[in-house]
């Protein structure tokens, strides 16, 4: 059997990883400034994360959601405490798309409506409602296209005011748009959005799948604005590479038996991986570390004249490249052995581990200078 060939691949095979470093099958060492699409939060193979998973594997690795699993409660407790949402409820699932799918479904259950507002350049995943609220017609199949979604320009207050009415079930917005090229909703726009959702009786869904888990220096990117969304979706950094996702649900939203469900969500291994991530974030002060290394990187990149614009918060950084340097990412990878990410058409995305060291950031900046101002 052949693999279904949907991923453009680099001819590179990582076989070992530690911290912000990857080693490949041909013996080379790469600096990882991308964390496998923002997934590596506490660093590759963090010893506490590895030990937690190994320890759990020796006990029990899977049963089902029809029996008590106190690890889920322990995770909910810890996540509530570290994120600043102790009074919210947690639904556990397995990926970002699934988290958004469940959030959209919940909003529709709660309001009895189905219209959704999303934003231009958004990305929310590749399943039914998640892909329908993603602003990329190329990946929306006719089967997914039947949803009632209005796409508004980000930060456009008049467009929001004229579209957000009593017919809307939910507004879904990323804490910071990732795939869209590191575009930030302004704090004032988020505050207006939260107020208008309340007025219209629509639920506000904050997709923090990429921007959450401490990456920006706060646990969630939207916390800079002081708003409290009805639903917050998580995945990526949550398990540091172990597949896990979740929805944080505001206190007033009542569950009923069978309302949501999944076979694998909240399994023992996912819970211990997620708990280990939170323990390390706390113990190693990774949120404030991400903020200070991120500030340093943003400041230094802004000084490079060949770079047109730098955007981001903490360790979620994007910068625009002029036409002359559109192969920069390729050169960083093959000449300097540094992984970075991209956003179409010309944005370089940096999404490293929150534990990126200052000297690792310097190594990247040095390579960037060599490429842009040789
Ligand atoms: C903001 C955002 N939401 C949702 C998703 C989908 O997550 P997953 O690939 O885990 O389904 C992504 C993935 O890139 C994302 O960046």
pLDDT at position 123 is 98
Centre of ligand 1 to C-alpha 214, Å, is 16
pLDDT greater than 90 at residue 290: yes
Cα–Cα dist 329/317, whole Å: 14
Helix (H) / strand (E) element for 14: namely strand 14-18
**50-79 confidence digits (pLDDT tens):** 999 999 999 999 999 999 999 999 999 999
- Whose alpha carbon is nearest atom 13 of ligand 1? 125
Helix (H) / strand (E) element for 362: namely helix 358-372
pLDDT greater than 90 at residue 15: yes
Centre of ligand 1 to C-alpha 183, Å, is 15
pLDDT at position 43 is 98
pLDDT greater than 90 at residue 374: no
pLDDT greater than 90 at residue 201: yes
pTM recorded for the entire structure: 0.98
Cα–Cα dist 132/126, whole Å: 8
Does residue 345 have a cis bond before it (omega within 30 degrees)? yes
Cα–Cα dist 247/195, whole Å: 21
What phi, psi does 21 have (nearest 5°)? -125, 145
Percent of the chain with pLDDT over 70: 100
Q: Which residues line ligand 1 (CB under 6 A)?
A: 37, 95-97, 100, 123-125, 174, 178-179, 207, 209-210, 235
Domain spans of the chain?
67-252+261-283
pLDDT at position 237 is 98
Cβ-based neighbour number of residue 263 at 10 Å:
9
Strands 347-350 and 341-343: antiparallel
Q: Which DSSP string do the residues of 68-133 spell out, in sequence order?
A: --HHHHHHHHHHHHHHT-TTSEEEEESSHHHHHHHHHHHHHHHHS--EEEEETT----SSHHHHHT
Q: How confident is the model at residue 345 (pLDDT cuts 50, 70, 90)?
A: confident
Look at residues 188, 172, 293 and name the one whose alpha carbon lies nearest to residue 233.
172
Nearest ligand 1 atom to alpha carbon 235: 10
The arithmetic mean of pLDDT across residues 92-102, rounded, is 98
Percent of the chain with pLDDT over 90: 97
Q: How confident is the model at residue 369 (pLDDT cuts 50, 70, 90)?
A: very high
pLDDT at position 183 is 98
**112-169 confidence digits (pLDDT tens):** 999 999 999 999 999 999 999 999 999 999 999 899 999 999 999 999 999 999 999 9
Centre of ligand 1 to C-alpha 104, Å, is 14
- Whose alpha carbon is nearest atom 16 of ligand 1? 210
Nearest ligand 1 atom to alpha carbon 177: 1
CATH 3.40.640.10 is held by the domain 67-252+261-283: yes
Q: Which DSSP string do the residues of 250-293 spell out, in sequence order?
A: -TTPPP-TTSS--SSTT-HHHHHHHHHHHHHHHHTTHHHHHHHH
Centre of ligand 1 to C-alpha 123, Å, is 7
The arithmetic mean of pLDDT across residues 179-183, rounded, is 97
**19-42 confidence digits (pLDDT tens):** 999 999 999 999 999 999 999 999
Helix (H) / strand (E) element for 358: namely helix 358-372
**234-263 confidence digits (pLDDT tens):** 999 999 999 999 999 999 999 999 999 999
CB 123 within 8 A of CB 176: no
Centre of ligand 1 to C-alpha 126, Å, is 8
Indicate the average pLDDT of the chain: 97
The arithmetic mean of pLDDT across residues 93-111, rounded, is 98
pLDDT at position 323 is 84
pLDDT at position 324 is 83
- Whose alpha carbon is nearest atom 4 of ligand 1? 124
Dihedral, 366, 370, 372, 374 alpha carbons, nearest 10: 150
Nearest ligand 1 atom to alpha carbon 122: 1
Centre of ligand 1 to C-alpha 331, Å, is 27
């Amino acid at each position: 059997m052949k693999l279904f060939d949907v991923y453009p691949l680099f001819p590179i095979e990582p076989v070992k990883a530690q911290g912000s470093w990857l080693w490949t099958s041909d013996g080379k060492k790469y600096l990882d400034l991308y964390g496998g699409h923002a997934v590596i939060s506490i660093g590759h193979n963090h010893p506490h994360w590895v030990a937690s998973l190994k320890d759990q594997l020796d006990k029990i690795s899977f049963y089902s959601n029809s029996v008590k699993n106190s690890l889920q409660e322990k995770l909910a407790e810890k996540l509530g405490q570290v994120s600043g949402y102790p009074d919210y409820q947690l639904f556990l699932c397995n990926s970002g798309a699934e988290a958004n799918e469940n959030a959209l479904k919940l909003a529709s259950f709660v309001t009895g409506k189905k219209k959704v507002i999303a934003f231009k350049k958004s990305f929310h995943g590749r399943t039914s409602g998640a892909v329908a609220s993603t602003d990329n017609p190329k990946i929306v199949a006719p089967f997914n296209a039947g949803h009632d979604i209005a796409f508004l320009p980000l930060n456009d207050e008049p467009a929001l005011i004229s579209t957000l009415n009593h017919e809307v079930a939910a507004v879904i917005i990323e804490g910071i748009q990732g795939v869209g090229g590191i575009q930030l909703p302004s704090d004032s726009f988020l505050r207006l959005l939260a107020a208008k959702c309340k007025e219209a009786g629509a639920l506000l869904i904050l997709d923090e799948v990429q921007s959450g888990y401490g990456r920006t220096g706060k646990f969630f990117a939207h916390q800079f604005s002081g708003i409290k969304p009805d639903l917050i979706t998580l995945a990526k950094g949550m398990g540091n590479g172990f597949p896990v996702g979740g929805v944080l649900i505001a206190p007033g939203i009542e569950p009923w038996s069978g309302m949501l469900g999944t076979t694998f969500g909240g399994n023992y291994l996912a819970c211990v991986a997620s708990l280990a991530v939170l323990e390390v974030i706390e113990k190693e002060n990774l949120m404030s570390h991400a903020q200070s290394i991120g500030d340093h990187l943003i400041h230094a990149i802004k000084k490079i004249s060949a770079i047109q614009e730098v955007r981001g918060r903490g360790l979620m950084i994007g910068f625009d490249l002029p036409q002359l340097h559109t192969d920069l990412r390729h050169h960083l990878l093959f000449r300097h052995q540094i992984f970075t990410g991209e956003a179409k058409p010309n944005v370089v995305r940096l999404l490293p581990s929150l534990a990126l060291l200052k000297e690792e950031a310097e190594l990247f900046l040095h390579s960037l200078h060599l490429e842009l101002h040789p």
